[in-house]
Amino acid sequence: MAIGDMFADIQSVASNDYLDIRPAAGNEAVIHNIYHEASIEIYRYDGSNSLLCASASGSGVFAYYAFHVGNTDRIRVKNTESSAKLIGYDGIYTKVT
């Protein structure tokens, strides 16, 4: 991977569980879009503190954002539904080691 390469994933996330958006240790990325097929909560997380910064009901996308993430300081997306749902994201690498 190189700076500017896409950093993306889609996963099935269990009820009341989280998708942690974070690159491998030493790397950093900017997340532009978060996709969700059901209700979610978005948290800024530093490994010990969790800050709820957004939520959404139903399916949708948080588009054209600039969430900066590393391996420790990251975004966590919580599936608040009663069954597993798909959650995805895309962005670009800004630092690679």
What is 4-70 written as a DSSP string? T-EEEEEEEE-TT-EEEE-PSTT-EEEEEEEEESS-EEEEEE-SS-EEEEEEESSSEEE-S--EEE-
Asked whether residue 79 is domain-assigned, the answer is yes
Determine, yes or no, domain membership for 97: no
**Once rounded to an integer, what is the mean pLDDT over residues 42-54?**
97
* Domain count of the fold of the chain: 1
Q: Is 42 a domain residue?
A: no
Determine, yes or no, domain membership for 71.
yes
Confidence band, pLDDT 50/70/90 cuts, at residue 59: very high
Quick one: pLDDT band at residue 84, thresholds 50, 70, 90?
Answer: very high
Which structural domain range is residue 84 located in?
A: 5-30+48-92
Q: Is 37 within a domain?
A: no
Residues 80, 60: Cα–Cα separation, whole Å: 14
Q: Is 43 inside any structural domain?
A: no
- Check: CB of residue 87 under 8 Å from CB of residue 24: no
Q: Is residue 67 part of a domain?
A: yes
Is there a domain that residue 39 lies in?
Answer: no
